[in-house]
Amino acid sequence: MPTKRKSKGAYMISAVAEMYGIHPQTLRLYEREGLLKPSRSDGNTRMYTDEDLERLEFILNLARDLGVNIAGIAIILQMRERMEEMNRQMQGFVDYVRSEMVSRMQGMGQPAASAIVPLRRPVVVSPKPATPKPKARR
C-alpha cells in the first residue's frame, strides 16, 4: 500500500484531471504502470501533491509533445532517477575529498581557507563546424 504523505497542497484525481485536460482513467493508468504514486487519504482517495503534479507535467510533456509511449516514459523516469542518485553520490564524494583536503592542510600547518578550492563547472566543448570538402579534380 502506498505511503501516506502530508503536504500543503493535495489535489483529488478529478481536480488534477481537469487541470491538465486528461481523463481520470489516464491518471489511474499512470499509477497502475508505476509512473505516478499519489498518496491516499484515510478514505483511500488519491491525493496528488505538488511533487506529483511536477512529475505528471514531465510525463505529459513526454507523451504529448514528444510522442513517447508508456514503456519509454518508464525507462526515461528510471534513468532520470538513477542520474539524480549518481549526482548525489558524486556530490558526497566531492564533499568528502574537500573535507579530507582541509583536514590534511590543517595538519600541515596551513590555514584552512587556503585549502578550499572552488570547483569549476565542466567546460562544454561544442562540436567543430564542418569543414568544407575539397573539390574533386576534373
Q: What is the mean pLDDT of the chain?
A: 84
User: Which fold would CATH assign to domain 10-111?
Assistant: Multidrug-efflux Transporter Regulator; Chain: A; Domain 2 (1.10.1660)
What is the tens place of the pLDDT at every residue in 55-105? Answer: 999 999 999 999 999 999 999 999 999 999 999 999 999 999 999 999 888
Q: Give the C-alpha separation, 28 to 38, whole Å.
A: 10
pLDDT band at 134 (very low <50, low <70, confident <90, very high): low
Contact assessment for residue 115 and residue 106, using Cβ atoms and an 8 Å cutoff: yes
Res 133: pLDDT: 58
Average pLDDT over residues 113-126: 58
Residue 3's pLDDT band (cuts 50, 70, 90): very low
pLDDT bin (cut points 50, 70, 90) of residue 38 is very high
Question: How far is 16 from 113, CA to CA, in rounded Å?
Answer: 51
What band does 136 get if pLDDT is binned at 50, 70 and 90? low
Spatial CA neighbour of 40 closest among 13, 59, 72, 64: 13
> DSSP code of 108?
T
pTM: 0.65
For the chain, the structural domain boundaries read 10-111
In which band, very low, low, confident or very high, does the pLDDT at 39 lie, cut at 50, 70 and 90? Answer: very high
Q: Which range in 37-41, 108-112, 116-120 is most confidently predicted, on average pLDDT? A: 37-41
